[in-house]
Amino acid sequence: MHGKTEEWLPDTRLKLLTDAITAPIAGKLARSLILLLIVLLFLLLLTPWQQNVRGIGRVVAYIPGDRQQTVGAPVEGRISRWLVKEGSKVKAGEVIAELRDNDPLLLQRLEGERQALLGRQTAIDNRVETFREQLRMAEQARPQALAAAESRLEMARQRQRQAVQGAEAASAARLTSSLNLTRQQTLQEKGLASRRTLELAQLEIAQRSADLDRAHAALA
């Protein structure tokens, strides 16, 4: 067994070495790939990483503070001087430009209108103060006015009672005169009274009727 192994072992080793030799086409392919890799690395080194692309469109910032801001003014005019440059950062309340009004007399007119409004306000305040003073005086005089009104009311009630009493008295007097006239007519018909007495009775009842009418008028 050992002798046979020694006979075929060198041949086997030779065969294995022959199989391990790289084929010529594989070597060329590997060299080509390596060369291509080197060229690609060289090109990557020469190629700039930052690219510039031109285009037309509109760019809107996500943050509202970074967007374009609109600046307005309460009056119309023209800008006489800029205090900032384009792209400068400004703070709230900072003056960015000076605006000159188209009407040079605007400030004078506004001041005149302001003075007129202040004058009107002063007049209104004075009127209000006058009304308050009148109201205060009326409040102070209210008890005296109520007392005077109650006094006049009591006097009116007394006059009413007097008028009622006068009407009652006039009515009673007319009734008496009417009874007297009836009695005088009866006596005159019987020949017991004179014509003069009858006429006096008629005159008396007329006077009593007039007194009763006046009493009713006073009561009304």
Splitting the chain (220 residues) into consecutive groups of 10 residues, what average pLDDT does each group show?
A: 46 54 70 88 74 74 70 76 83 84 77 92 93 90 87 87 83 83 79 76 81 80
Q: Does the residue 56 lie in any domain?
A: no
Q: Does the residue 12 lie in any domain?
A: no
Would you state the pLDDT for residue 213?
A: 83
Q: Does the residue 153 lie in any domain?
A: yes
Q: Does the residue 213 lie in any domain?
A: yes
The number of folded domains in the chain is: 1
Would you state the pLDDT for residue 61?
A: 67
Q: Does the residue 50 lie in any domain?
A: no
- Distance, CA of 25 to CA of 47 (rounded, Å): 33
Would you state the pLDDT for residue 3?
A: 45
Q: Does the residue 72 lie in any domain?
A: no
Q: Does the residue 169 lie in any domain?
A: yes
Would you state the pLDDT for residue 68?
A: 72
Would you state the pLDDT for residue 73?
A: 73
- Kindly state the tokens that stand for 54: 């031109």
Cβ atoms 169, 190 nearer than 8 A? no
Cβ atoms 98, 83 nearer than 8 A? yes
Q: Does the residue 196 lie in any domain?
A: yes
- Distance, CA of 219 to CA of 167 (rounded, Å): 7
How far does CA 94 lie from the centroid of its chain? 31
Would you state the pLDDT for residue 50?
A: 63
- Containing structural domain, residue 169: 124-219
How far does CA 12 lie from the centroid of its chain? 110
